[in-house]
Chain A
Amino acid sequence: MRVPTQFSVDQVVVGHSPRMRAIFDFVKVVSRSDSSVIITGESGTGKEVVANMLHHQSARRHQPFVAVSCALFSESLIETELFGHERGAFTGAIKDKPGRFELAQGGTLFLDDIDDVPLSMQVKLLRALQNREVERVGGTRTIPVNVRIITGTKRDLKQMVAEGKFREDLYYRLNVLPIVLPPLRERREDVPLLMEHFLKRFARERGIEVPQVSPAVRHAFDRYRWPGNVRELENACERIIQTCSCGTARVGCLAVSILFGAASAEGASPLAQPAPVASISLDDRLKEVESNLIGWALKVADGNKSKAAELLNIKRSTLGDRITRCGIAEPRSDVESAPVPA
């Protein structure tokens, strides 16, 4: 979700899914604390939104909220970016520059993409967090900092620790309060609500009426996997608002990748007649989605269940239970993913 320049907690759509409700209740509780938070979630699931909420509901809300993506900077740049530098520290350092830690003084520092921070930098980060002070590059004085640290990661840090790619001591320092954001495909019940929300927002920005949405479009939105999560949904809605010329959003307003993606998720249950407006069984749908994904993972993993479980980000034992529940006998060949053009 794109964070509006003027962030307000009321603008955040919580949705109906029990998991998201639980997350937001948890956010309310932990925003009162000063402890470190790790937000884990795929790209586009709303890590920065949650970080913003944590800050804006905390006692630090009148202090700065500084967000920085650690993936944007090269190894040497991260250090000067986070800790700042003194004049003359290196060629081009013509004046003193405070780092993000200092800029966030008294407030919250959101370090996104922490999984992209190189090991050498992790040591320095750990020291800064432990001692609550930073030293600018090329400087000698230590500057005490009082910031709340929130980190965002798209990969499972624990896994990275096991692989030796992330320092264990830093992991435990950061991982006091973990929040895991589910991918959108695991909370499909929220797709219609999010769609309404974004359509309304973009229509308001463009100064037009909110278009009607055809059942076929709703159907495609329901079926599509949304690999880019809420951000992708948001962009699809923006596209509708920007291109719709007839007042009703129809399939022609969607990216063909969504149409093909939705069509290939259709599987055995065809949409032979005009989109059914009749009631649908959410449980059946979810089960279908689940078994499709499990089938896909098993296929990609060549039937290796441990690998498949890893792909699905679930425990090996959970996968076993779900395979039994969905009645999948072996890797299925009918869930081949179709080519998805842009």
Chain B
Amino acid sequence: MVSRERIEAVLDRIRPLMQADGGDIELVSVTGNNANVRLTGMCSGCPSAHMTLYMGVEMALREEIQEFEQLQVV
């Protein structure tokens, strides 16, 4: 079970840049070793932003947190 705090800590690293662009990545829920996030703001409607953030953030989480499994964008 991954704690919310550890996931938030990773998200916090890129959050300032996203917020500066009028967006955010919101941690909706954590279930076991998986997490659900929501993109808000300017980039939330952009398919390529979804793809890049989704893949990149998941990879960063896996790198930082050994047991992390999957990221869902809801």
Which residues from chain A sit less than 8 Å from chain B, CB to CB?
Answer: 214-217, 219-220, 243-246, 248, 250-257, 259-260, 262-264, 266, 270-275, 338-339, 341-342
Q: Is B18 an interface residue (CB 8 A)?
A: yes
**What number of residue pairs across chains A and B have CB atoms under 8 A from each other?**
103
CB distance A252 to B43 under 8 Å?
yes
Give the docked Cα–Cα distance between A220 and B56 (Å): 16
User: Contacts A256-B53, A341-B56, A342-B55 given; 20 further ones with Cβ under 8 A?
Assistant: A214-B21, A215-B20, A216-B17, A216-B20, A220-B17, A250-B46, A250-B49, A252-B50, A253-B52, A256-B59, A257-B56, A263-B14, A263-B16, A271-B16, A271-B20, A273-B20, A275-B21, A341-B57, A341-B60, A342-B56
In the complex, how many angstroms separate the beta carbon of A96 from the nearest chain B beta carbon? Answer: 51
Q: For window 29-68 of chain B, which residues contact chain A by CB distance below 8 Å?
A: 39, 42-43, 45-50, 52-53, 55-57, 59-60, 63-64
Q: Chain B: interface residue count, which band?
A: 20 to 34
Checking A214, A246, A262, A264 against B46 with a beta-carbon cut-off of 8 angstroms, the contacting residue is A246
Pick the contact of A219: B20, B46, B52 (CB < 8 A): B20
Where the two chains meet, the residues of B that have a C-beta atom closer than 8 Å to any C-beta of A are 13-14, 16-23, 39, 42-43, 45-50, 52-53, 55-57, 59-60, 63-64
Residues of B within 8 A of A342 (CB): 55-56, 59
Q: In the assembled complex, how far is the CB of residue B36 from the closest CB belonging to chain A, in whole angstroms?
A: 18
Contact sample, A vs B, 18 pairs, CB 8 Å cutoff = A215-B20, A215-B21, A216-B18, A217-B21, A243-B48, A250-B23, A250-B43, A250-B49, A252-B23, A252-B52, A253-B52, A256-B14, A256-B53, A259-B14, A260-B13, A260-B14, A271-B16, A339-B64
